[in-house]
Amino acid sequence: MTTEEKIKQWCPQAGTETAGETVVHVPADRLEDVCRRLHDDAEEPMDYLRDLVGVDQGEGCLSTYYQLESSRTGSRVMLRADAVEREGRAMLPSVSGLWKTAEIKEREAYDFLGILFTGNPDMRRLFLREDWNGYPLRKDYDMDSNPLDMGNEENADVTEEFRLMPDGTLERRENVVFNPDDFVVNIGPQHPSTHGALRLRTSLDGETVKKIDPVLGYIHRGIEKLSESLTYPQTLAFTDRLDYLSAHQNRHALCMCIERAAGIEISERAQYIRTIMDELQRVASHLLFYSCLVMDMGALTPFFYGFREREMILDIFEETTGGRLIQNYNMIGGVQADIHPDFVRKVKAFTKHMREIIHEYHEIFTDSVIARTRLKGVGKLSREEAISLGATGGTGRATGWSNDVRKRHPYALYDKVDFKEIIYTHGDSWDRYMVRMDEILESCHIIDQLIDNIPAGEFRVKVKPVLKLPEGVFTASVESSRGEFGVFLMSRGDKSPWRLHFRSTGLPLVHTMDTVCRNGKIADLIAIGGTLDFVIPDIDR
Amino acid sequence: MEVKNHKLATTKDMRPEEFKNNDYLLRMAEELNRDGAGIVLSTVDDVINWGRSNSVWSLALGTSCCAIEFMALGAARYDMARFGFEVTRNSPRQADLLMVLGTITYRMAPLMKRLYDQMAEPKYVIAVGGCTISGGPFRKGYHVVDGIDKIIPVDVYIPGCPPRPEAFFYGMMQLQRKIKMERFLGGRNRKEKPEDGETKREEKA
Ligand code: SF4
């Protein structure tokens, strides 16, 4: 029995939409029940909430899409629920009791669209100022309604929660984030080791962390709203600037999604180039991860090591794409330009060099007693927590959760190459660090299998400059340098998307900070943040 | 495997003679010196400025992509220590220069202003990347400041998305020249009181 049929059995009112990808439409009052049954299913527990996307369908209808995946079998399903109006506000029941990651994703949907989730303990704004007017992703939002406010921003120490009582009334409760006698330390947003404009309000008991409340939005650029007024090829430029250390992979995901929707078949050569570029990007990103982590922990020399090899990759990128950090290379239908004549030679030289030199990295840092004592056994996360929090990528794989999209839902050439998924089981900082170090070599291994066999042919198929996609919902996901990056595209048949949403890899990771750091020492907070490896502009979008 | 004629390789490079180095700034400074300032005082000034311009300590306000290129400057290949820029300070009280790297959003803007206000005079600002100059690709967004010069005075703009490391250096050297032109003791072109960002904005509105 397929998941859809199961849902139909539990909830006969459920409808199915088949424009684009299949979406099961569940009435709001049955949502909680259906979700619980899916989550607790014996054969195929849908225990990983990939993403939760709020959409304004127009004409006052707000809805939420739930993308679920089973960590056991990898099968996926997408649900849709339309918010119902109560006391003048759009409401949906919260699913944060089932999937912890929903806590923060529902806050995002509330912030963008004003959907109130009953039962979510924290209904504050997430990215925008607490005194912001209106909800920017609604279709009737006036773009000029919130001018720049240079005044100070107060952060409330209590949150609102709404509960739906059995008799249909709403009960409003207040939850306390920080008590007045808590000792709250403010870390960020201008802090050298938060890797961007991230702010963590941290309450301490002596040296022990009691609670972390991330305050986001210091680099919220409104990319999703901006995309709604651009043509499809124009929207590509934003993806590189989300998680700039996964620029290729992000853009790959969006291109793939649009190609799928438009039915464009790309050439074998382009697939090879894309896969190689993705892996080079992963190595570059992990090298930067290494450099930053050691620098955060007070070592400077290894920082130079990491950048030395990273520059080699950037040179390769630059020759072919013209860009060092942000390459704007993938295009709908292939890639922007053919590879440089020196590309193959340089890539081969690089992978060889990387293999030979990586022992230096381990000698100077991995083997040192400081690294071991500061990383081993620190900041533990369990497999169940990682799944519930949606902490993908190296963070999840360090807990034993096999979540590599390249293995579970292969795209491009990943089903043709032979590679191992790096899995560790302790879930501490050390394992998170080792996953990335091992992945550097694994990526070199993938590149080596492809680099000599790049087939001849077109690097890009001809695509109309103004593209109209058929109506429906389309998704795509890739394994970016730090986890699953997903694209949710909703088209109404126009030349620009009705709604374009990106699954941020970093948002669940930042949300993880509270779980991981709690009851640990404040001195470990920065090292833990370093090993979780998030990039802030990708979180805030 | 046949490789097609590579487009990027044929792009016309900039000719050396087309490059404007703006070294007239230095010549101007010399001229001004000759025409007015006292020999002793202006020499003292020169010494002070030589020291100041070669030890600019920056506060890196790195919010996004451009900040990563700034890190590359710190590494061995580009090595900004050659220009005396290598000391980045994490406290505004110890910094001479505010490097704004990356998009500034509405939520961040008051904090940027506060950091600027906390810095001690004389202070400078470099706006790096399209985002800080004009809002860049996100200019039309509902949450992005379209140009930080609307909030704080900017000394040097470095365009690019992100700028190349060479462009960073060029911009930083422009700032060094600007610093070298200042007179503390020699009279003549004493540094003007920098306008308060707030009043500047109000005038515009
Ligand atoms: S100018 Fe470009 S590279 Fe720099 S922060 Fe803005 S988007 Fe990123």
Full DSSP string of chain B? ---PPPTGGGSPPPPGGG----THHHHHHHHHHHHTS-HHHHHHHHHHHHHHHT---EEEEE-STHHHHHHHHHSTTT-GGGGT---EESSGGG-SEEEEES--BTTTHHHHHHHHHHSPSS-EEEEEHHHHHH-GGGTTSSSB-S-GGGTS--SEEE-SSSPPHHHHHHHHHHHHHHHHT-BSSS-SSBPPPPPPHHHHHHHH-
Distance B137 CA to ligand 1 centre (A): 8
Say yes or no: CB of residue A495 within 6 Å of ligand 1.
no
**B202 within some domain:** no
Cα-trace Rg, chain B: 19
Interface test with B, best of A113, A126, A216, A220 (most B CBs within 10 A): A220
Same domain, A133 and A234: no
Distance A427 CA to ligand 1 centre (A): 34
Chain A CB contacts of B3 below 8 Å:
338-341
Task: Give the domain CATH number at A120.
Answer: 3.30.460.80
Flag whether pLDDT at B199 surpasses 50. Answer: no
Angle at A529 between CA A325 and CA B102, to 5 degrees: 35
d(CA A529, CA A379): 9
Flag whether pLDDT at B196 surpasses 80. Answer: no
Contact B8 A340 (CB under 8 A): yes
**B121 within some domain:** yes
**Any idea which residue has 């290494």 for tokens?**
A290
A404 beta partners: none
Give the predicted TM-score (pTM) of the model.
0.86
**A84 within some domain:** yes
| Boundary residue ending a domain (A113, A143, A173) | A143
- Stretch A227-237: mean pLDDT, rounded? 87
Contact A307 B75 (CB under 8 A): yes
pLDDT single digits (tens) A415-458 = 888 888 888 888 888 998 989 989 998 898 888 888 888 888 88
Poorest-confidence range of A14-28, A303-317, A390-404?
Answer: A14-28
| Boundary residue ending a domain (A101, A126, A143) | A143
Chain A CB contacts of B2 below 8 Å:
456
**B114 within some domain:** yes
d(CA A364, CA A293): 13
How much is the pLDDT for A194? Answer: 63
Work out whether the CA dihedral B152, B154, B158, B160 comes out positive or negative. positive
What residue of A is the nearest CA neighbor of B102? A219
How many structural domains are present in chain B?
1
Q: Which residues of A141-171 are buried (b: 16+ CB within 10 A; e: fewer)?
A: beeeebeeeeeeeeeeeebebbebeeeeeee
d(CA B109, CA A190): 12
**B46 within some domain:** no
Of A229, A241, A311, which is closest to B137 when you measure between CB atoms?
A: A241
Helices (H), A141-209: none
- Stretch A292-309: mean pLDDT, rounded? 86
**A259 within some domain:** yes
Mean of all residue pLDDT scores within chain A:
86
Task: Give the domain CATH number at B85.
Answer: 3.40.50.12280
Distance A242 CA to ligand 1 centre (A): 10
Reported for B7-13, long-range contacts at CB under 8 A and 24+ positions apart, including other chains, are B7/A337, B8/A319, B8/A320, B8/A321, B8/A322, B8/A337, B8/A340, B9/A340
Helices (H), A229-298: 232-240, 247-262, 268-296
Question: Furthest-apart CA pair in chain B: how many Å?
Answer: 71
d(CA A221, CA A237): 13
- Stretch B108-119: mean pLDDT, rounded? 88
A76 beta partners: A69
What residue of B is the nearest CA neighbor of A538? B64
Contact B8 A337 (CB under 8 A): yes
Q: Which domain holds residue A118?
A: 1-143
**A216 within some domain:** no
Which residues neighbour A401 within 8 Å (Cβ) at sequence distance 6 or greater?
A: A71, A383, A386, A387
**Any idea which residue has 């000029």 for tokens?**
A144
d(CA A242, CA A502): 9
**A193 within some domain:** no
Interface pTM (ipTM) of the complex?
0.84
Q: Which domain holds residue B132?
A: 57-188
The SS3 of residue A239 is: helix
d(CA B167, CA A290): 26
Distance of CA A233 to the CA centre of its chain: 22
**B4 within some domain:** no
Nearest Cα to A281, choosing from A310, A306, A323? A310
Contact A80, A25 (CB under 8 A): yes
Same domain, A135 and A259: no
How much is the pLDDT for B29? Answer: 67
**Any idea which residue has 């100070």 for tokens?**
A152
pLDDT single digits (tens) A331-389 = 888 888 888 888 888 888 998 998 888 888 888 888 888 888 888 888 888 888 888 88
Cβ neighbours of B87 (radius 10 Å) = 14
Task: Count interface pairs A-B at CB distance under 8 A.
Answer: 150
pLDDT single digits (tens) A484-505 = 898 998 888 888 888 889 998 8
Pairing of strands A89-93, A116-118: parallel
Q: Which one of B73, B103, B138 would you pick to mutate in the ligand 1 pocket, going by the greatest count of ligand atoms within 8 A of its CB?
A: B103
What residue of B is the nearest CA neighbor of A144? B142
Distance of CA B135 to the CA centre of its chain: 17
Flag whether pLDDT at B205 surpasses 50. Answer: no
Chain B CB contacts of A235 below 8 Å:
none
Task: Give the domain CATH number at A319.
Answer: 1.10.645.10
Same domain, A229 and A321: yes
Contact A155, A203 (CB under 8 A): no
Flag whether pLDDT at A135 surpasses 60. Answer: yes
- Stretch B53-68: mean pLDDT, rounded? 84
Contact A124, A140 (CB under 8 A): no
- Full 3-state SS string of A68-125: EECCCCCCEEEEEEECEEECCEEEEECCCCCCCCHHHHHHHHHHHHCCEEECCCCCCC
pLDDT single digits (tens) A59-114 = 878 889 998 888 888 888 888 888 888 877 888 888 888 888 888 898 888 988 88
Contact B110 A151 (CB under 8 A): yes
How many structural domains are present in chain A?
2
How much is the pLDDT for B35? Answer: 63
Same domain, A3 and A134: yes
Structure tokens at A44: 């195929």
Contact A81, A60 (CB under 8 A): no
How much is the pLDDT for A517? Answer: 86
Contact B63 A221 (CB under 8 A): no
- Stretch B92-116: mean pLDDT, rounded? 88
Q: Which atom of ligand 1 is nearest to the CA of A326?
A: 3
Nearest Cα to A461, choosing from A339, A274, A336, A333? A333
Poorest-confidence range of A167-176, A522-531, B189-198?
Answer: B189-198
Same domain, A125 and A232: no
Is the preceding omega at residue B162 within 30 degrees of 0, hence cis? yes
Distance A537 CA to ligand 1 centre (A): 10
Say yes or no: CB of residue B65 within 6 Å of ligand 1.
yes
Residue nearest to atom 5 of ligand 1 (CA): B102
Same domain, A139 and A227: no
d(CA A400, CA A80): 31
Say yes or no: CB of residue B103 within 6 Å of ligand 1.
yes
B128 beta partners: B101, B158
Ramachandran class of A263: left when φ > 0, alpha when ψ lies in -120 to 50, beta otherwise: left
Structure tokens at B173: 């050297």
Contact B180, B49 (CB under 8 A): yes
Structure tokens at B115: 């950091």
Poorest-confidence range of A37-46, B144-153, B181-190?
Answer: B181-190
Same domain, A238 and A135: no
d(CA A376, CA A437): 15
Length of chain B: 205
| Boundary residue ending a domain (A143, A161, A177) | A143
Q: Which residues of A277-286 are buried (b: 16+ CB within 10 A; e: fewer)?
A: bbbbbbbbbb
Chain B CB contacts of A344 below 8 Å:
1
pLDDT single digits (tens) B10-44 = 445 666 677 676 777 777 767 766 666 566 666 77
How much is the pLDDT for A193? Answer: 66
Distance A487 CA to ligand 1 centre (A): 21
d(CA B145, CA B143): 7
**A427 within some domain:** yes
Flag whether pLDDT at B182 surpasses 80. Answer: no
Structure tokens at A482: 């730090």
Contact B68 A308 (CB under 8 A): no
**A481 within some domain:** yes
**A173 within some domain:** no
- Full 3-state SS string of B48-97: HHHHHHCCCCEEEEECCCHHHHHHHHHCCCCCHHHHCCCCEECCHHHCCE
